[in-house]
Amino acid sequence: MKNIILSIMLILSICGVSAQSFDNFMEQRGGEVIARMAHPMNTYESCSYQTRGNSILIKIEYKKCTTELKFYAIGDIFYNLEVLSDTDFYPPFRAVQNIKSILYTMMENEFPETIVAIEDKIGTKIREMDGKQLACMAFTLAWLNYKY
């Protein structure tokens, strides 16, 4: 009986550490990572979130607008994102997509082997990635970097 109780306490403490770790990530880094991806030129103020099954609802407050997102995850990998609402005049993640297009154009002739290596690792063509996919990748990498 004592072993069962200790096992349950261990499992609960591990789960708590994991949840606390994600709370810390969102407070210290995650909110700002997503805010910068959605609207890089806006002044980030705060972020709140709720987990629901395999998704995370995120509300980002900027100085002059608000963005609400829904990320979908499998384990530690964020693989999709929906924009639920956005009060800025410029579409979220469009600026990041445009920056990616410019950088890709500059790199494709100078560093084609680097591009191929990255594409092999992520399993998709960088040229075809939109701003939401880039945000999922950045959010996943930021989370994994924080966690490990």
Q: Domains in the chain: how many in total? A: 1
pTM of structure: 0.80
Q: How far apart are CA 142 and CA 59, in angstroms?
A: 18
Task: Please give the chain's pLDDT, 148 residues, in tens.
Answer: 444 443 444 343 433 335 568 999 999 999 999 999 999 999 999 999 999 989 999 999 999 999 999 999 999 999 999 999 999 999 999 999 999 999 999 888 899 998 899 889 888 899 999 999 999 999 999 999 998 8
Alpha carbon distance 62, 37 (integer Å) = 13
- Domain holding 8, by residue range, is 2-147
Greatest Cα pair distance, the chain, in angstroms, is 66
